[in-house]
Amino acid sequence: MGVRARVLLCWLQVLCAVVFGDVWKVEVESKMDALVSSCVVLPCTFKYPAQEQPSSRIRAMWHTKKKPEEFIYHNDPTKATENFKGRTKLIGSLGDLNCSLEIDGVRNHDNGPYCFRVELETSEIDKYSFVDNCVTIKMIEKASKPELLAETSVKEGQPVIFKCSVRHTCPSHQPTLSWSHPGTTIMSYKDIGHGNWEVESLLTFTPTKEDDHSSVTCTVKYHGSVEGEMQATHQITVKEQATLSHILIPAISGLGAALLVGLLCFFVVKRYKNRIAELQSRNDNGMWSRLSRMSRRFRSGEGSSGTGGREQGQVPKNF
Listed in sequence order, the residues at least 6 apart from 244 whose beta carbon sits closer than 8 Å to its beta carbon are none
Which of 198, 218, 239 is the C-terminal boundary of a domain? 239
DSSP string for residues in 120-144: ETT-TT-EEE-TTS-BEEEEE-SPP
Looking at the fold, whether 108 and 205 belong to one and the same domain comes out as: no
pLDDT recorded at residue 237? 85
Which of 140, 158, 183 is the C-terminal boundary of a domain? 140
Looking at the fold, whether 115 and 161 belong to one and the same domain comes out as: no
pLDDT recorded at residue 182? 93
Neighbours of 27 (CB within 10 A): 14
| CB-based contacts of 65-68 (< 8 A; 24+ apart in sequence) | 65/112, 65/113, 65/114, 65/115, 65/131, 65/134, 68/115, 68/117, 68/129, 68/131
pLDDT recorded at residue 298? 59
Looking at the fold, whether 128 and 173 belong to one and the same domain comes out as: no
Tell me the residue type at 105: G
Tell me how many domains the chain contains: 2
**What's the whole-model pTM score?**
0.66
Looking at the fold, whether 42 and 125 belong to one and the same domain comes out as: yes
| Full domain range(s) for residue 110 | 19-140
Query: Residue 271 falls within a domain, yes or no?
Result: no
Instruction: Single out the residue of 243, 240, 221, 239 nearest to residue 151, CA to CA.
Output: 239
Looking at the fold, whether 25 and 71 belong to one and the same domain comes out as: yes
**Strands of 230-239's sheet in order across:** 153-155, 230-239, 214-221, 176-179
Query: Residue 11 falls within a domain, yes or no?
Result: no
pLDDT recorded at residue 27? 95
- SS3 for 68? coil
pLDDT mean for each 10 residues of the chain (319 residues): 49 47 84 94 92 88 93 92 92 93 94 93 79 94 89 85 94 94 94 94 91 90 82 86 59 73 74 72 59 61 48 43
- What phi, psi does 283 have (nearest 5°)? -65, -45
pLDDT recorded at residue 260? 78
Q: Indicate the pairing of strand 40-42 with strand 101-103.
A: antiparallel
Query: Residue 182 falls within a domain, yes or no?
Result: yes
Looking at the fold, whether 168 and 127 belong to one and the same domain comes out as: no
Looking at the fold, whether 86 and 119 belong to one and the same domain comes out as: yes
pLDDT recorded at residue 124? 63
pLDDT recorded at residue 146? 92
Looking at the fold, whether 24 and 135 belong to one and the same domain comes out as: yes
Which of 209, 239, 269 is the C-terminal boundary of a domain? 239
* CATH number for position 68: 2.60.40.10
Q: Indicate the pairing of strand 31-35 with strand 136-140.
A: parallel
Looking at the fold, whether 235 and 181 belong to one and the same domain comes out as: yes
Query: Residue 306 falls within a domain, yes or no?
Result: no
